[in-house]
Structure 1
Amino acid sequence: MNELTIRQIIEKILNGQLRVPAFQRGFVWDSNRVAYLMDSIYKRYPFGSILLWRTKESLKYERRLGPFDLPPLEPDYPLDYILDGQQRITSIFGVFQTDLAQQEDEDWMQIYYDYTANPDAQESQFTALKPSEFDPQRHFLLRNLFDTTAYRRATRDLPDDVANKIDAMQAVFKEARVPVQLIETEDRATVAIVFERVNQKGVELDTLQLLSAWTWSEDFDLQRKFIDLADDLKPFGFEDVGQDTNLLMRCISAVLTRSVNVNDLIKLNGGEVRSRFDEIATGVKGAVDFLRMNLSVYSLQNLPSPNILIPLTVFFSHAPKGQLRYTAEQKHDILKWFWRVSFTRRYNSQPVASLQEDIGQIINLKNGKDHKLGDFPHEITVEYFTSQEFRINTIASKTLILMLANKKPLSFISGNEVSLAKVLKEYNRNEFHHIFPQKYLKEKATKYGSNTLANLTFLSRSDNNQISSRPPSQYRSLMPDQADEILSRAMIPSDFINDNYDEFVNKRALLLKGQAVLLMERGY
Structure 2
Amino acid sequence: MSKKPSAKPATTNPAQSTTAGLPSRAPEPTVDRIEELAGRILRGDILLPKFQREFVWEKHQILDLLDSIANNYPIGSVLLWRSRELLKSERNIADLEIAKTQSGYPVNYLLDGQQRLSTICGALYWNGSEAESRWNLAYDLRAKAFLHLDTLDDPPLHQIRLNKIIDPSAYFLHVSSLKTLGAPDVDALEAQAKELFDRFKDYKIATVTLHEMSVEAVAPIFERINSRGTPLTIVDLMRAATWSEQFDLIDAIADISDELSNKYFGGIERKAILRSISAAAGGGFSEASIDGLRKHSSGELEAAVKSTKEAYSRAVDFMSTELHIPSDKQIPYVNQVVVLAEVFRLIKHLTPAQLASVRRWFWRTAVAGYFGGWNTGNMGSDQKAVTSFATAQKTEIESVVHDPGAAIWTAQQFRSNTAHSKILILLLAFSKPLDLLTSQSIDTGDALYHGNTKEFHHFFPRDYLKSKGVATRKANVLANFVMLTAASNKRITNRAPSDYLKEVKKELGGNLDKVLARNLITHEAFEAAMQDDYDKFLDERAKGIASAVSSLTGW
TM-score (norm 2): 0.77
In the alignment, what sits opposite 1:282? 310
With over 3 angstroms needed to count, the CA separation of the structure-2 counterparts of 1:379 and 1:16, relative to structure 1, is: closer
Alignment pair present for 1:426 and 2:450: yes
Q: For 2:532, which of 500, 505, 512 is the aligned residue?
A: 500
Deviations 1:390-438 (A, max 9, x none): 1111112111112222323234355454444444113211222222333
Q: Does 1:456 align with 2:481?
A: yes
Give 1:212's aligned residue: 239
Structure 1 SS opposite 2:482: strand
Deviations 1:108-166 (A, max 9, x none): x636365666xxxxxxxx5455669x996976543332343355235522512321332
- The aligned counterpart of 1:68 is 95
TM-score by length of 1: 0.81
**Matched residue pairs, number?**
502
1:370 matches 2:394? yes
Residue of structure 2 equivalent to 1:490:
519
Partner of 1:85: 113
Match of 2:193 in 1: 166
- Provide the rounded CA distance (Å) in 2 between the counterparts of 1:6 and 1:61: 21
Deviation sequence 1:262-293 (CA, Å, 0-9, x none) = 11111112432201322111211221122222
Provide structure 1 residue ranges, at least 5 long, that are not aligned to the other structure.
118-125
Question: How far apart are the structure 1 equivalents of 2:291 and 2:211?
Answer: 18
Partner of 2:380: 356
Q: 1:317 aligns with which of 340, 345, 348?
A: 345
* 207-216 vs 2-11, greater mean Cα deviation: 2-11
Partner Cα distance (1:166, 1:238) in 2? 57
Deviates more, 1:435-444 or 1:198-207: 198-207
Superposition pairs for residues 229-240 of structure 1, below 5 Å? 229-240=256-267
State the Cα distance separating 1:227 from its structure 2 match: 3.8
Gaps in structure 2 of 5+ consecutive residues: 1-28, 180-185
1:69/1:473 Cα in 2 relative to 1: closer, same or farther (>3 Å)? Answer: farther
User: 1:103, 1:199 → 2: CA distance?
Assistant: 38
Query: For the Cα contact (< 8 Å) 2:239–2:250, is it kept in 1?
Result: no
1:511 aligns with 544
Higher alpha-carbon deviation: 47-56 or 148-157? 47-56
Between 1:374-383 and 1:385-394, the stretch displaced more is 374-383
**How far apart in 2 are the matches of 1:363 and 1:24?**
36
The separation in 2 between residues aligned to 1:87 and 1:516, in whole angstroms, is 51
Report the residue type matching 2:177 in the other structure.
R
Question: For the Cα contact (< 8 Å) 1:336–1:374, is it kept in 2?
Answer: no
Aligned to 1:393: 417
Could you say which residue in structure 1 is the equivalent of 2:124? Answer: 96
Q: Look up the match of 1:252.
A: 277
Amino acid at match of 2:236: Q
Shift, 1:440, TM fit: 4.3
Provide the secondary structure at the position in 1 that maps to 2:357.
Answer: helix
SS in 2 for 1:156: helix
- The DSSP-based 3-state class of the residue aligned with 1:106 is coil
In the aligned structure 1, how far is the partner of 2:62 from the partner of 2:515? 63
**Other-structure match for 1:294:** 322
> 1:456 Cα shift?
0.9
- Aligned letter for 1:454? A
One-letter amino acid matched to 2:192: K
Secondary structure (helix, strand or coil) at the match of 1:347 reads helix
SS at match of 2:457: strand
Q: Deviations over 1:472-494 (max 9, x none)?
A: 22244444752321111212133
| Alignment counterpart, residue 473 of structure 1, candidates 502, 522, 526 | 502
Distance 1:491 1:98, change over 3 A: closer
Alignment of 1:441-452 (within 5 A): 441-446=465-470, 449-452=474-477
- Cα-to-partner distance string for 1:462-512 (whole Å, 9 max, x where unaligned): 443454445222244444752321111212133346251413222212222
